A = this chain, B = another copy of it.
């Protein structure tokens, strides 16, 4: 009987791996859509993606999966193995969730996501919200359907969707974290107003894009991003995706924004290191998947902000910048660039926001998507309320929708309940960075010598290689000894920015 049960685990494993292969093929099609696909090919691409999503869904919801799961539950040898029993537990969770969604809805969502994303890109480039509105209305309606399929008992729609991205997190918990965080971030911004803002001319120096590309590739290599199992391309909106054994990053270049290109690259490479830190042998199982988007984002933020915006990093990076960017560096120095990289200035665009105001952008979206999902906000009213919240939270006026509610791709891709994982990422990143600093005996000295391997391997050991073995809350406790808190993040910001602004 033991052997027979062993057989069920193996059968289930192969079945799930095949579902994963379909998902990873779809990921390649989506990557191609953003980086390579000619403009006229979008409609067929949407059909291809819908077809693959439906086939993957059929496989995940195959009724035999329930039988194999039951057989595994009764198999003592599987239950005694921590990794295999974790896979079985997580497959059961995923299967239960997937069977709540009808195949027709999965197909319709995949097709709408591909098309709405293309419609969003056009609407944004033309600054024409009305053009996007019907697509977003249809998307909100399908997301409401999806949430209604998923939610249990009195769970809200938003909570049902957010649980897909951050297992165990609820809007109520987030409000508790976000309330005091907003108060202190606003106070910090006011306090910095009494200090000396850094000179940020370097952020606007015009630099040949090919030179910028060589520079940011050198930094991604120094971080340890593995080109044998990854690549870096350009796209309008930077992202990181796994398309099989390999992991693909994108970044973007503007002639006069080299720090933006560097920040985007380090951010996406941080995601890439997490993906490359998963065990190759676990691909196609839950232990070969990232545990949550908040933890994923913590890895990108840690490299972007705790490494890339540190004084020690710039002491190492400045000679690299001089080598690759040439005369653009004349008249600047490492300390000055470090300060320029830490300018705080409330701005319109989330992905360009500084560390101290970024989370205020998230709070705007968190409010609005809850209201869209519960039906208390009509899509047509979105621009008005977006602009109102930007005034309230960031103190700035939104001049147009391109720089307002059309700036993010997420909702067009069907990502509702997703935005707060960015702020969770900031909080986790600070808490992980503080723990790594304690355990590795001073990261700054390593960074200024270009030694990023100790941090990278610590993250791999502590976080990456576990995949979904521990839930985010448990993982945080194991890695840092403490539950998630906004204290390390606020301490990091107040201390660093106080110094940069001469208020130390």
Residues of A within 8 A of B (CB): 18, 21-22, 24-25, 28-29, 32, 36-41, 43-45, 47-48, 51-52, 55, 226-231, 243-246, 283
Contacts and interface: CB of A to CB of B under 8 A. Distances in A.
A40 B229 contact: yes
Contacts of A47: 21
Contacts of A28: 28-29, 32, 48
Contacts of A24: 44, 48
A446 to B, nearest CB: 27
A38 B245 CA distance: 9
23 contacts: A18-B51, A21-B51, A24-B44, A24-B48, A25-B29, A28-B32, A28-B48, A32-B32, A36-B36, A36-B231, A38-B229, A38-B230, A38-B246, A39-B228, A40-B226, A40-B228, A40-B229, A40-B245, A41-B246, A44-B244, A44-B245, A45-B244, A55-B55
Contacts of A36: 36, 231
Contacts of A227: 38
B52 A25 contact: yes
By secondary structure, the A interface counts as helix
Counting every copy of the chain, the complex holds 2
A51 B14 CA distance: 12
Given A28-B29, A29-B28, A245 B41 contact: yes
Contacts of A48: 21, 24-25, 28, 244
A230 B43 CA distance: 14
Nearest to A230: B38
Top 9 nearest A-B pairs (CB, nearest first) are A41-B246, A44-B244, A44-B245, A40-B228, A40-B229, A41-B245, A21-B51, A38-B246, A25-B48
Contacts of A41: 229, 243-246
A29 to B, nearest CB: 6
A355 B124 CA distance: 51
Contact of A38 (B37, B45, B231): B231
A27 to B, nearest CB: 10
Contacts of A45: 244-245
A246 B25 contact: no
A289 to B, nearest CB: 15
A411 B243 CA distance: 27
A229 B229 CA distance: 29
A13 to B, nearest CB: 14
A283 B40 CA distance: 14
A218 to B, nearest CB: 18
Contacts of A38: 227-231, 246
A283 B44 contact: yes
Contacts of A43: 245
A468 to B, nearest CB: 19
A459 to B, nearest CB: 21
A45 B55 CA distance: 18
A245 B48 CA distance: 11
Nearest to A18: B51
